[in-house]
Amino acid sequence: MQYGKHYILECTVEQNDMLTNLEGIKAFFVSIVKTLHMTPVSECVSHVFPGSNGITAFQVIAESHISIHTWPEYNYFSFDVFSCKDFDDGALDALVHQNFPIAKKVSQVIHRGTLMMNETGLLEAPTTTPTTPISSL
């Protein structure tokens, strides 16, 4: 890992109750921070959309951020964690499964840092961006 690790996830769920449960999502974020040994720097910021009750929530952590966007009308959510320190993406994946009744998912981990610094300036990294799919159901 050079500049950060970015866990990106898209899911559909069997039941959408959690997708409209702001307190449940906040508790989910707290469990992520605790499990991955992250450092919260603010309270979770959120917005509940009128009509669908979809939620956007964002947690700033010293290491970067955690975010989720839900569309309960489609039984769908997108979620990501970006961190400048390494973390156990398997443990994060397990937390997702503990908190959401996953029907289908696509996830990947991107190792950030396409440009590298040296004493003379910027050097381009290899032309391929390393990505590691975690799973796809």
* Rounded distance between C-alpha atoms, residue 39 and residue 73, angstroms: 33
44 in catalytic set = no
* Rounded distance between C-alpha atoms, residue 32 and residue 29, angstroms: 5
Catalytic residue among 11, 64, 83, 107: 64
37 in catalytic set = no
* Rounded distance between C-alpha atoms, residue 117 and residue 72, angstroms: 43
What count of Cα atoms within 13 Å lies in the side-chain half-sphere of residue 60?
4
84 in catalytic set = yes
46 bridge partner residues? 57
Catalytic residue among 65, 78, 84, 111: 84
Catalytic residue among 69, 78, 135, 136: 69
Which SS3 state, helix, strand or coil, does residue 113 take? coil
Instruction: Give the position of tokens 């937390």.
Output: 95
Active site residues: 64, 69, 84
